[in-house]
Chains A and B, each alone.
Chain A
Amino acid sequence: MSPSNLNRRDALKLLGAGSLLALGGLPALAATRGPRGRVVVVGGGFGGATAAKYLRRFGPDLEVTLVEPSERFTTCPFTNLYLAGLRTFESLGHGYDELRDRYGVRVVHDTAEDVDADAKTLRLSGGETLEWDRLVLSPGIDIRWGALEGYDEAAAEKAPHAWKAGPQTHLLKRQLEAMEDGGTFILVAPDNPFRCPPGPYERVSMVAAYFKQHKPRSKVLILDAKDAFSKQGVFQEGWREHYGEMIEWVGRSADGRVVRVDADALEVETEFGTIHKADVLNVVPPQQAGLIAHRAGTANDSGWVPIHPRTFESKQVPGIFVVGDATEAAPMPKSGFVANNQAKVAARAIVADLAGEAASEPRWANTCYSLIAPGWGISVANVYEVHDGQLREVPGSGGVSPAGAGREFRRREAEFGQGWYAAIAQDTWGTRPGG
């Protein structure tokens, strides 16, 4: 299939799908169409799927290929609700039909094996080699096996991380269900940076919600490598309100930092030699950028990918754009929302780049909802900009849900959290609410 055939066919498809105004946004952009070129996107999560869709929205003449091994992607967000029995696992899965059928993205279910940045090719495990003019990597995180003593892949089969949605999530749920009432659940929380800063604290909230209903004599202990965490005040307020003394948090300076894991004994040892014994042990281990970011030469010694903040083009390999959890983009958190927003800015920058134009001044938003109990939600929201070549929060913007805001405020934020999930799943994969 020649590129021009593909473009003409897809252009007709796009016209059929709705007005160009609705799909392309700016009338001016739609009228002038846009540059031609081949863009390959690796990873079908929040960052990659959004990049593929918005590349076609901003650049209807681009040939876009998305490489993702799974035919259905399960989000990490809301897996904690699955653990509490508030969502089915299936409701967290999303396919690629809309990207393929409505946006004309070629979707290849294969694994990206290696990148040749000079030849501008991507080799897939199945043997195919894709040529690209610009490459987008959205590989998410990999676990740094062995970075925490005793925590390797075999250990994770006994003490799950459940920090990637899939078999690990099911394993943790089975262990929680098999635990006797009166048992102890221990969550080991890592130092920054890591995927989903409020995630460990929502996880213990949802485990406590399950215990409160089914195993009310059980305990929840968080051993933390940090002395502070995301939305800490409103998390702890909600824990007291809903779970009394059930949840105990031990920060780093109170000897909360775990230095060794014994997965067979379900024991962990802290910095100053305290041994804690769990009935269910959930270790959220140190992380790094996904493997393909390293293979492509975009990651540095920290294990993460430095990027040019205006465009999210790799600082180390020109022509490769990296978005999502794999990037070094502090103060932006490693969240699905941020990955979605970064992907849009990168998609627009790639279209501008291929057209020989300058990228526009970007702004990114983030809103992260966490559920503490059914009907009791909290949030953090921020807007980010580039200032003197660095990413920063827009001064005066952003913040966490207010302390002591009351039941009605928390109920509405729990509801908005549900709305957020439906919206970002629609925006990223085209999933229809309830469909």
Chain B
Amino acid sequence: MNTQNQTGKKRNGPDAGIWVRMVIMLAALGVVVLTIRTLRPPADTEPDSPPAPATAPGAEEFAAKIEVMAQSCAACHGTDGALHTSIPPLAGKPALIMQSQLLAFREDQMPGATVMPRLARGYTEEELRALARHFAELPPGGTTRSTP
């Protein structure tokens, strides 16, 4: 039966699953790093690089769009992506790793992934890269600190 095969394929042991995911993630990271190095100015690849200059046409509009878009993620990852639950936080993680993961989700290259491929396909590659930079710049655990 088809479903049986599918089930069998997805049901790797937890250890195997983690290794497969790590290898694919590292491979994807390599591809993304190479792609970014060849296609984009180096300044843009740094997680804490300054935002694109406001003089670039549409840059402010794009930044405003990303700012609102990023707030969507909070409904699963906590405000500013800083909450630790069964769902991992995003705040303060290296931009390059998040970019490679988001692009791998979008291309369905993350075995065992659940909702993220379905969500990542709702954004362009440029938007996903910008979202990764947005969360990389936020303080980790920012919203889990005790309030005054």
Contacts and interface: CB of A to CB of B under 8 A. Distances in A.
Nearest to A19: B139
B126 interface: no
Contacts of B139: 19, 22
Interface stretch (A189-197, A315-323, A360-368): A360-368
Contact of B72 (A341, A396, A430, A433): A341
Contacts of B121: 383, 394, 396-398
B58 to A, nearest CB: 11
Interface in A387-428: 394, 396-399, 401-409, 412-413, 415-416, 418-420, 422-424, 426-427
A419 B85 contact: yes
A381 B118 contact: yes
A367 B139 CA distance: 25
Interface string B109-148: 0001011001101110000000000000011001111011
A18 B83 contact: no
Contacts, number: 165
Chain A interface size, under 10 / 10 to 19 / 20 to 34 / 35 or more = 35 or more
A419 B86 contact: yes
B38 interface: no
B65 A340 contact: no
A426 B6 contact: no
Nearest to A340: B75
A397 B85 contact: no
B3 A420 contact: no
A433 B6 contact: no
Given A394-B123, A427-B74, 14 more contacts: A17-B147, A22-B143, A26-B67, A29-B67, A98-B147, A344-B72, A362-B65, A362-B69, A363-B69, A407-B11, A408-B10, A408-B112, A419-B76, A423-B77
Interface of B: 2-4, 6-8, 10-11, 14, 17, 51, 60-61, 63-65, 67-80, 83, 85-87, 112, 114-115, 118-119, 121-123, 138-139, 142-145, 147-148
